[in-house]
Amino acid sequence: MRLSRAPVTDLTLGGRSWADRAQADPFFLKDQAQGLINAYLAGHDATNPAASPLFADPTGVPPIRLHVGDAEMLLQDAVRYAERAAAAGVDAKVDVWEGMAHSFLSSVGRLQAADAALDAIGGFLRDRLSLVDA
């Protein structure tokens, strides 16, 4: 099982949300991300599936539940990855939270959407783990 808040799945930064969410997400900036990616890749190809899961074959990947704010730069990374995984037959779902920016899940206990996301994650785990015992 994979649980994630807004994953970086495309190190090419090819998702349109890097442009159309630039003003909405004050926590994760494209220049900041590009610097981190350059340091991580150290000259290697950003489309390498080992670096960018969006370019990997997700067939056989365990169930995935992603949480992303609709106001965050990583929106398209999460949506495109979940769509690709679902198309490959993976139990994959992305929850898009209205008005939320990057890292909203770190506000559990202070933000209603974060509390609801945590509840959804608990339900996801409960449902998937009960299948293991069956």
Task: Give 47-57 pLDDT, tens digit per residue.
Answer: 999 999 999 99
**Residue 55 contacts by C-beta under 8 Å, 6 or more apart in sequence?**
10, 47, 48, 49
What residue spans of the chain are helical by DSSP H? 17-20, 30-41, 75-87, 112-133
What does pTM read for this prediction?
0.86
Res 21: pLDDT: 85
Task: Give 72-94 pLDDT, tens digit per residue.
Answer: 899 999 999 999 999 999 999 99
> What CATH number does the domain containing 8 carry?
3.40.50.1820
Centroid of chain to Cα 7 = 3
Count CB neighbours of 8 within 10 A: 22
Structural domain count, the chain: 1
Query: Whole-angstrom Cα distance, residue 100 to residue 66?
Result: 14
Average pLDDT in the 112-124 region? 93
- Give the domain extent around 65: 2-133
Band (pLDDT 50/70/90 cuts) for residue 132 is low
